């Protein structure tokens, strides 16, 4: 009995405990449910934040890219002899580079490009040995345009590219351009220490302006370069114009690469070699094009003036080269056409006439050049190409001697004629 009483009491107490335990368990379950909801909401918020962060991160990128261009070439007269050689960059200069973009929010991005040229035939660095001689800049980009600081293409070259023979299949980089690349429309010379501001495309119109700091103590103008260009391309019509003014071009423009001379001449082509002492170089260019269904016809004119000859000290010049005075004015007239026979086969032709007015009362020189080309695309990234260029020179060049043919990228002929043929392959990555 005592035991029953004891256990009965215990049972009654147990019943009470069960009621209390039930309430407690219910509260605990409710509490756990609330905590679970909070946990789920927290996890959801974390996942969303992670996804958003990943999406933002996806807007930032670093890309490795490049191009390898190698071929076989033949020159009829290179320094007085026939030449068979492997070519590098006959169509486009071989290069590799890294470009990057970081999303800063508000439709604003940080951008950069580091681009190095090289010789694919022997592995040597391009641009006279610069590590990133083609381009090296950093800047800010918005939908309205961009601003960048560093070593960059000229504004004129960048906006004129669609009008050039290289874009229309008639000639490659270097070989098919104007003698000596006098107007820099092949971008033989990039511009260092440059601030560039460029607009986006507004209904076909783009404007691009550049200023290169000379960096000379005591003078903001010494060795400075400024360049402005515009382009309009809408429908079949294309128009472009550009102007560049360069102070002491032998050093600031032609001599801004590694291993260039700080005191001697940096201008090699015979058509220009006698103008290293110029105090100023001004170049104006304009272009027009019309696109047909499968073809584009382009017309280009440029005028380059080497002014104040004899005002800049250049060591090591021969007396005939140092004797030039006054102004040398060089006009270039060009017509080129590209035609797609099929979507994979592009053919082109180009003719240019370059006239150097001469100095010191000399007659000056004329250069006629014809370029023919064919480009077959094996894929979006690989193509086979062939070019033939012929140049005929007449008159007296900047050195005071009879003008000789000198297709850019080859050794000058010993006569007034030179022909070049190239067969190559180009691959982009």
pLDDT above 80: residue 297: yes
Distance from CA of residue 267 to its chain's centroid? Answer: 22
pLDDT above 50: residue 11: no
**386: phi then psi, degrees, rounded to nearest 5:** -145, 135
Distance from CA of residue 303 to its chain's centroid? Answer: 23
Q: What's the whole-number mean pLDDT along residues 105-133? A: 95
CA distances from 424 to 38, 132, 369, 391, 427 (A): 67, 25, 21, 21, 10
pTM of the model: 0.84
DSSP codes, 188-206: SS-EEEEEEEEE--BTTEE
Count CA atoms closer than 13 A to 59's CA, side-chain side: 14
Higher per-residue pLDDT: 396 or 9: 396
Mean pLDDT of the chain: 88
Nearby residues of 285 by Cβ (< 8 Å), 6 or more positions away = 156, 160, 183, 185, 240, 241, 242, 243, 300, 301, 302, 303
Tell me whether residue 12 is exposed, middle or buried, using C-beta atoms within 10 angstroms of its C-beta: 0 to 12, 13 to 18, 19 or more: exposed
**% of the chain residues with pLDDT over 90:** 80
415-429: b or e for each residue (b if 16 or more CB lie within 10 Å)?
ebebbbbbebbbbee
The confidence score (pLDDT) of residue 316 equals: 94
pLDDT band for position 206 (cuts 50, 70, 90): very high
Q: Kindly compute the dihedral angle of the four CA atoms of residues 154, 157, 159, 162, in this order, to the nearest 10 degrees.
A: -160
Tell me whether residue 351 is exposed, middle or buried, using C-beta atoms within 10 angstroms of its C-beta: 0 to 12, 13 to 18, 19 or more: middle
- Taking only the tens place, the pLDDT of each residue in 366-376 is 999 999 999 99
Closest residue by Cα to residue 163 from 288, 284, 285: 288
- Taking only the tens place, the pLDDT of each residue in 86-103 is 999 999 999 999 999 999
The confidence score (pLDDT) of residue 226 equals: 97
Count of CB atoms situated within 10 Å of the CB of 29 = 10
Q: What's the whole-number mean pLDDT along residues 146-158? A: 98
Count of CB atoms situated within 10 Å of the CB of 182 = 27
Q: Which residue has the tokens 């000639």?
A: 171
pLDDT above 50: residue 35: no
Q: What's the whole-number mean pLDDT along residues 339-361? A: 95
User: What is the spatial distance between Cα 98 and Cα 365, in angstroms, rounded to a whole number?
Assistant: 43
pLDDT above 60: residue 3: no
- Taking only the tens place, the pLDDT of each residue in 229-271 is 999 999 999 999 999 999 999 999 999 998 999 999 999 999 9
- Taking only the tens place, the pLDDT of each residue in 195-204 is 999 999 999 9
């Amino acid at each position: 009995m005592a035991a029953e009483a004891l256990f009965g009491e215990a049972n009654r107490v147990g019943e009470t405990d069960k009621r209390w335990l039930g309430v407690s368990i219910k509260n605990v379950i409710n509490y756990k449910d609330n905590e679970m909801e909070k946990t789920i909401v927290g996890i959801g918020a974390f996942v969303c934040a992670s996804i958003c962060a990943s999406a933002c991160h996806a807007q930032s990128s670093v890309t490795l890219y490049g191009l390898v261009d190698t071929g076989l070439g033949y020159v009829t007269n290179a320094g007085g002899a026939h030449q068979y050689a492997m070519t590098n960059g006959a169509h486009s200069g071989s290069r590799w580079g890294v470009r990057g973009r970081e999303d800063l929010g508000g439709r604003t991005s940080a951008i950069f490009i580091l681009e190095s040229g090289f010789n694919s035939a022997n592995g040597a660095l391009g641009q006279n040995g610069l590590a990133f001689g083609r381009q090296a800049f950093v800047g800010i980009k918005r939908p309205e345009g961009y601003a960048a600081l560093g070593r960059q293409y000229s504004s004129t070259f960048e906006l004129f590219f669609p009008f050039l023979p290289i874009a229309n299949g008639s000639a490659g980089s270097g070989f098919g351009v104007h003698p000596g690349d006098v107007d820099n429309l092949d971008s033989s010379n990039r511009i260092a220490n440059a601030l560039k501001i460029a607009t986006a495309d507004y209904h076909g119109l783009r404007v691009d302006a550049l200023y290169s700091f000379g960096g000379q103590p005591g003078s903001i103008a010494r060795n400075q370069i400024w360049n402005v260009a515009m382009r309009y391309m809408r429908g079949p019509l294309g128009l472009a114009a550009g102007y560049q003014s360069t102070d002491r071009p032998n050093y600031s423009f032609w001599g801004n690469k590694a291993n260039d001379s700080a005191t001697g001449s940096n201008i090699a082509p015979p058509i220009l070699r006698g103008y290293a002492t110029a105090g100023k170089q001004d170049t104006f260019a304009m272009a027009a094009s019309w696109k047909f269904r499968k073809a584009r016809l382009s017309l280009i004119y440029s005028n380059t003036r080497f002014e104040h000859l004899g005002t800049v000290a250049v060591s090591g010049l021969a007396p005939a080269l140092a004797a030039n005075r006054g102004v040398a004015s060089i006009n270039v007239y060009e017509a080129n056409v590209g035609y797609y026979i099929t979507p994979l086969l592009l053919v082109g032709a180009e003719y240019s006439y370059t006239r150097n007015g001469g100095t010191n009362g000399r007659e000056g020189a004329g250069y006629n050049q014809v370029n023919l080309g064919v480009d077959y695309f094996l894929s979006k990234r690989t193509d086979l190409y062939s070019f033939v260029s012929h140049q005929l020179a007449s008159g007296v060049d900047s050195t005071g001697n009879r003008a000789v043919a000198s297709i850019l990228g080859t050794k000058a002929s010993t006569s007034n004629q030179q022909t070049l043929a190239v067969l190559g392959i180009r691959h982009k990555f």
